[in-house]
Amino acid sequence: TVADLKGLKQGQLRLAVITTAKYIIPRLLGPFCQLYPGIDISLQVTNHERILERMIGNMDDLYIMSQVPEHLDVHVEAFLENPLVVFAPANHPLAQEKNIPIEKLVDQPFIMREPGSGTRRAVQSLFEEHGIKVKVKLELGSNEAIKQAIAGGLGISILSRHTLLTDSSEFSILDVQHFPMKRTWYMVYPSGKQLSIVARTYYEYLLEAAKKIVEHEVITSVPQQTLHSKSE
Ligand code: PGA
């Protein structure tokens, strides 16, 4: 009944998500809170390594991350793609090139995420796989700060495509071989943990919301024409 839905589902929901998920999770919390006004939420946004620490410390109900922890016994469910792409300023010389060899990235000043970042780890293992070494000009602990640095002409970087959801006209996504790098967001919690009713409700809500997003292709389509508009 409606009373079950609205009245009985009360309490605290503690979420901890990796930095890329902040571009979507807060937005999805709006409709959820309208459905369940009795649920109060705390949302921690931090990098992969800190999420792991929080999980080991049992500090939250649910976690969102892109890389499944290897040494922890966890329940895992994939719910959305989190592709990594090569970001450059809109007027970058390579912005109009197609099928750029990955080796060409070594000529570009590169902006790297901080140690502990899952994005950084994924980028480094791709570079290792192809035996290339980029020139790291700047290391930054935030996707937003990296975007500002790119827009300011400091260099290029590899970031989740989700970080581009709002302000796309300042950037181009370079068409580099092996990109987009496929990654996935997972909902994760320790296997031994009994989810609260509130956490279970959110878990199911997020799965449904993700399905709708995929159906409407809100996330998977990139408006290329707006991305290149400044350089044309
Ligand atoms: P990060 O997480 O903030 O640790 O880079 C993003 C990811 O792993 O996809």
Atom of ligand 1 nearest to the CA of 48: 4
Quick one: DSSP state of residue 8? I
Atom of ligand 1 nearest to the CA of 84: 9
Average pLDDT value for residue range 58-77: 95
The whole-angstrom separation of Cα 197 and Cα 210 is 20
Residues with CB under 6 A from ligand 1: 18-20, 47-48, 66-67, 82, 113, 117-119, 160, 183
pTM of the model: 0.87
Kindly give the distance from the C-alpha atom of residue 153 to the centroid of ligand 1, in angstroms, as a whole number: 23
pLDDT band (50, 70, 90) for residue 165:
confident
Atom of ligand 1 nearest to the CA of 143: 3
What are 192's two structure tokens? 């031994």
Kindly give the distance from the C-alpha atom of residue 66 to the centroid of ligand 1, in angstroms, as a whole number: 7
Kindly give the distance from the C-alpha atom of residue 199 to the centroid of ligand 1, in angstroms, as a whole number: 22
Best residue among 22, 52, 65, 114 to mutate for probing ligand 1's pocket (most ligand atoms within 8 Å of CB) is: 65
Q: What is the pLDDT of residue 3?
A: 46
| Average pLDDT value for the chain | 89
- CB-CB contact of 6 with 38 (8 Å): yes
Between 156 and 1, the higher pLDDT residue? 156
